[in-house]
Amino acid sequence: MQILRSPVRVFLSMALRSPSYDPPRSVVSVMRRTPPSLSSSCGVGRPTTSRMARLRSSSLSSSSSLSSVSSSSNLHHEEGNQSNTDNIPPLSDCPLPFDEGPYSAAEVRITEGEATEDDDDDDDITFLDKLHTCMDIWTQNDYNSAWVHVPVRRASLIGTLVPELGFDLHHTNSATQTIVLKKWLREGAEDNIPPLATHQVGCAGFVLNDENEILLIKEWTGPPSSRTPTKQWKMPGGLLDAGESFEDAACREVWEETGIACDFESILTFWHRHGLKFGRSDLYYVCLLRPKTLDIRIDPVEVSEAIWMPIDEFLQTQDHPLIHHVLRTSFRIDPSRPPLLVGSHERIQPVAEMEAGSVQWPNRPPYPTYTSVKRQ
């Protein structure tokens, strides 16, 4: 979305920073001529005399308050008989409601409400003035960062938050349709807030039945009108949903793609690769699953074919590098000398795997934790 710049923005910034600022006649004239559509896109509107007075009055009050705090601070410093904390304004003075977040953060969430376009003009001016006051209070109370969650409909605010108030775009939230910006408040200290997630996390199901057969699929590739099956057999799998465990994700992906219900047993291995789309890295886990059913019902949208393939046959006919790695390292099967598992009455077991457990801090829920276990 293109953010329009206008003299209104210039006026707002200067008015906020200097209570004595008097805009030139040319600026006032341009502001008065600003058509409604442009003023709405700028998010500030057509400032009337009363609005300008409100801004100046509020900014003057804020500056006087800060001057008073500064003078009081110097006096107490000279006297040396009172704590510096006496000069810090309480958080209850913040004119905006906020939540405390990670990294000693203060987070403000703008609500959309049922405002009209004219109301939005007033809301933007009022909000920016209040945010300016809050940032002073948060800084004096040793907060590290300030965060603003901006609804898409109020995106015009970004044109002031970024260039004028020093906020940076951190990420967007598609679920809430908001744009999240942050500002580091500790001047002279390094900004240690990480960017939004740099990794995607996925898992595959190594589904092994009692006949020592593994469940394999071929996906579709190409546009829907001329799609063709992939050449290589692979394990069913995909990306984890937000908040989903490895156990649930692996079983869900196998069920969605093949119709096979499974029980999770362990994690066998994982890879960590880089340079994917959008600059992301990838963590991909292979989970050992035991099937509860054997009848295959594929998802025809994603999967072209699915089969149960004996491990012996796989080793002799297929070259999927990840599955070969799992058989060689987790099951100690040498692909160059495959065992004769056909007709075996015992399901092979991994020599090492990561079993599910948990670690728990006091007064917190347990965290799923996976620990390597070596089999005898």
- The full length of the chain comes to 376
Structure tokens at 153: 């409909």
* pLDDT, tens digit (0-9, with 9 covering 90-100), for 184-219: 999 999 898 888 888 999 999 999 999 999 999 999
Domain range 7-184, CATH architecture: 3-Layer(aba) Sandwich (3.40)
The ranges assigned to domains in the chain are: 7-184, 199-374
CA angle 104, 107, 110 (to 5 degrees): 175
Contact 161, 150 (CB under 8 A): yes
Structure tokens at 112: 């959309």
Average pLDDT over the chain reads 78
**Phi then psi for 366, rounded to 5 degrees?**
-65, 145
Contact 145, 193 (CB under 8 A): yes
Beta bridge partners of 358: 368
Higher pLDDT, 339 or 280: 280
Rounded CA-CA distance 127/133 in Å is 10
- Provide the 8-state DSSP code for 278: G
Structure tokens at 81: 């008989």
Residue type for position 45 = G
pTM of the model: 0.64
Helix H or strand E segment including 317: helix 311-317
Residue type for position 227 = R
Average pLDDT, integer, range 50-67: 39
Structure tokens at 118: 């004219």
Burial (CB < 10 A; 0-12, 13-18, 19+), residue 205, is buried
Contact 312, 321 (CB under 8 A): no
Rounded CA-CA distance 144/344 in Å is 63
Residues above pLDDT 90, as percent of the chain: 57
The pLDDT of residue 51 is above 60: no
Structure tokens at 326: 């799992």
Beta strands in 196-280 (DSSP E): 199-207, 213-221, 228-229, 237-239, 262-273
* pLDDT, tens digit (0-9, with 9 covering 90-100), for 160-181: 999 999 999 999 988 889 999 9
CA–CA distances in Å: residue 159 to residues 6, 11, 63, 226: 10, 13, 24, 45
* pLDDT, tens digit (0-9, with 9 covering 90-100), for 288-336: 999 999 999 999 999 999 999 999 999 999 999 999 999 999 999 887 7
Which residues, 6 or more positions from 25, have their beta carbon under 8 angstroms from its beta carbon?
Answer: none
The domain made up of 199-374 has a fold known as Nucleoside Triphosphate Pyrophosphohydrolase (3.90.79)
Higher pLDDT, 91 or 61: 91
Residue 157's pLDDT band (cuts 50, 70, 90):
very high
